Amino acid sequence: MSEGGTVTTEDMATGDSEWPQEPIPGDHNRPIRGRYSMDSVALEKYNDWLNGSYFDEATKQELLEIRNNKREIEDRFYKELEFGTAGLRGIIGAGTNRMNKYTVRKTAQGLANYIKTKGEKAKKRGVVIAYDCRRMSREFAEESARVFAGNGIKAYLFDSLRSTPELSFAIRYLNCISGVVVTASHNPPEYNGYKVYWEDGAQIATDKAEAITDSIASIDNFESIEVLDKEEAKNRGLLVYLDEQIDNAYIKEVKKQSLRGETVRAVADDFRVVLTPLHGTGSIPVKRVLREIGFKNVFVVLEQEMPDSEFPTVECPNPEDKKAFELAIELAKEKDAHLVMGTDPDCDRVGAIIKDKDDEYIILTGNQIGALLVNYILEALHEKGRLPRNGVIVKSIVTSEMGPNIAKHYNIETVNTLTGFKYIGEKIKQFEETGEKTFLFGYEESFGYLAGTHARDKDAVVGSMLICEMAAYYHSMGMNLYDALMHLYNKYGYFSEDLKSITLEGRDGLEKMQNIMEYFRMNTLQAIGDKKVLYVEDYELQRRIFLHNNGGIEEIKLPKSNVIKFILEDECWVCLRPSGTEPKLKIYGGFRGDTMDESKEFLATTMGWIEGKIKGIQLGE
């Protein structure tokens, strides 16, 4: 090491000079093959952090420990951690491409600068901040509050863990200009993230995300970031800690979405539920709302009840994965439970386990839960005479068509949005401003649900309440949710959905992904498998192309997105979408059949055909 603590490329001559053959943790957009020469820009940034007076000793010590590891220095410093369409997400650690207090401060300063462009009134309205159970979540939340306070922007900070949907609710309840939640959802323990919301309670729209990204990029050095001491911020009224007042108001609004409280109370002595919060924020709010609407027998998985940043009992705290429910199923067998539910760490998604006709525990898909809830909500509102004529269901374009079929039975319209719950939040705002429609329910196939408009993001608290209430309702009629689902299939057709992912890593992978999308954009398929293509929806070109009856083109009035969807005969469809967060091309499929076997056969055949086609494109065939 040279004098002054600076590391040079010569110092690293005997270091790790070979790239590994496996992907680099935390990033999949870098080539990883062959020998490697240290990037001088990355090394310069590394030395800036190692020697800069702004960075604390713990950070410098962490960096010293990797001084002979070219690979690690490169990965940590070759770029800035990117602020995407809703915020940051990355591995925790020292470096510009990591989640740490310095990158969080810079992001908060960028957001503060953007807020200041909205005037003094916006600054006084302030920002509300929540955080979940992950490593460094509280520290990142407090650092953000100090930056906002340093910029004269009032910061409201929850005094302990809170869910993402409560953060969404709190923004409008407190009339804040913006909101932040520190979470990485169901990512592995080494990750954390930083999601930004705007005054409507929804995640920031694309135009605001781009403006905030530019604002962050304009910050030349960390020394220019305004950070106020925590005690001084409190004394000046720029840092306010929030307590149970917001909790009470939020739970009150969630409970307004209960539709059959009398049924819950009637079966409460007999009906049994197992709940796992998967070490996250869901335990307190979900238990509370279930108790307050009348459930008496809610058994929590003790090993997973307390918040724990390491998620020690699961490989991944994801309620989409049945493996995450292993302890919950054990408890369900012990208690002979009628329903098992699990929420993710920030409690915005919920999954459910039920018994099938063979008395085996099965996990419901997000599409199945969504269809069940659409039917339950519309049926209950219809019975009570509360179903509005202009009511609407909102779902993403890659979510099953079963829900819309059910909604149509009740003369309720379904509106499609791009993938991402912020687009559903935007629709809620639009409907409230225009009065043209009444929002009833929004959902995505990825286990996100929202009833009511108290939040503008998916809400596992209200979702858990309605799933539990729905199961209790069917229990009162001698049925379970499996029976209810089979009844819907018999009535509306057997719908099957699937998601396949093709991993394409590195810059070459990104180019391949673009080439694949361009192929399907330029070469309109007349059929996929045995199904005729009726029309193609190209969300990048914002047009719908009809292939029969003299064709024609129709405008798609949704934001641009690199997504292509093929609408096939017999209510079937296939959709191609590059992931925004992973090096993957995602293939979604949805199929309707007269029997479940027929539906699944169509699904397997067609998804296999499209995968084969993509492999052929990659090989140049």
pLDDT digits (tens, 9 = 90+) for 12-68: 543 433 333 333 333 433 433 334 455 688 899 999 999 999 999 999 999 999 999
Give backbone dihedrals phi and psi of 94, rounded to 5 degrees, phi first: -80, 140
Ranges of beta strands (E only) in 226-380 are: 239-242, 272-276, 297-300, 339-343, 350-355, 361-363
Q: In this structure, which topology does domain 494-618 adopt according to CATH?
A: TATA-Binding Protein (3.30.310)
**Both tokens assigned to 383:** 């019975």
Element (H, E) at 494: strand 494-503
Please tell me the distance from the alpha carbon of residue 322 to that of residue 354, in angstroms, as a whole number: 11
Least confident of 23-32, 36-45, 185-194, 281-290: 23-32
Residue extents of the structural domains in the chain:
1-79, 82-242, 255-492, 494-618
pLDDT of residue 618: 82
CA distances from 271 to 170, 247, 256, 336, 470 (A): 33, 26, 22, 10, 12
Q: Rounded CA gap, 396 and 197, in Å?
A: 20
The pLDDT of 6-17, averaged and rounded, is: 50
What pLDDT score does 114 carry?
A: 97
Segment 440-453 mean pLDDT: 97
Q: Does residue 478 surpass a pLDDT of 90?
A: yes
- Among candidates 433, 432, 439, 435, which has minimal Cα distance to 415? 439
The answer, yes or no, to whether residue 3 has pLDDT greater than 60, is no
DSSP SS3 for 582: coil
Fold category of 82-242 in CATH: Alpha-D-Glucose-1,6-Bisphosphate; Chain A, domain 3 (3.40.120)
Per-residue confidence (pLDDT) for residue 384, from 0 to 100: 96
Three-class secondary structure of residue 504 per DSSP: coil
> Could you give the 3-state DSSP secondary structure of residue 206?
helix
Where is 515: in which H helix or E strand?
Answer: helix 506-522
Tell me which residue of 275, 279, 362 sits closest to 313, measured CA to CA.
279
pTM of the predicted structure, to 2 decimals: 0.91
- Please answer whether residues 238 and 152 qualify as being in contact, where contact means their C-beta atoms are separated by less than 8 angstroms: yes
Report pLDDT digits (tens) over 395-428. Answer: 999 999 999 999 999 999 999 999 999 999 999 9
pLDDT score of 594: 93
pLDDT of residue 40: 82
State residue 581's pLDDT score: 65
- Mean pLDDT, the chain, whole residue set: 91
pLDDT value of position 486:
97
Do 308 and 188 touch, CB atoms closer than 8 A?
no
Residue 157 pLDDT > 70, yes or no? yes
pLDDT in tens, 523-559: 989 999 888 999 999 999 999 999 988 889 999 999 9
Task: Quote the pLDDT of residue 548.
Answer: 87
The pLDDT value recorded for residue 76 is 93
CATH class of the 255-492 domain in this structure: alpha beta
Least confident span in 251-255, 452-456, 584-588:
584-588
Give the residue-averaged pLDDT of 137-156: 98
Catalytic site positions: 185
pLDDT of residue 9: 52
Asked whether this chain's domains 82-242 and 255-492 adopt the same fold, the reply is yes
pLDDT of residue 83: 85
Q: What distance in Å separates the CA atoms of residue 269 and residue 345, rounded to the nearest whole number?
A: 30
* Mean pLDDT computed over 302-308: 97
pLDDT tens-digit readout, 496-520: 999 999 988 766 888 899 999 999 9
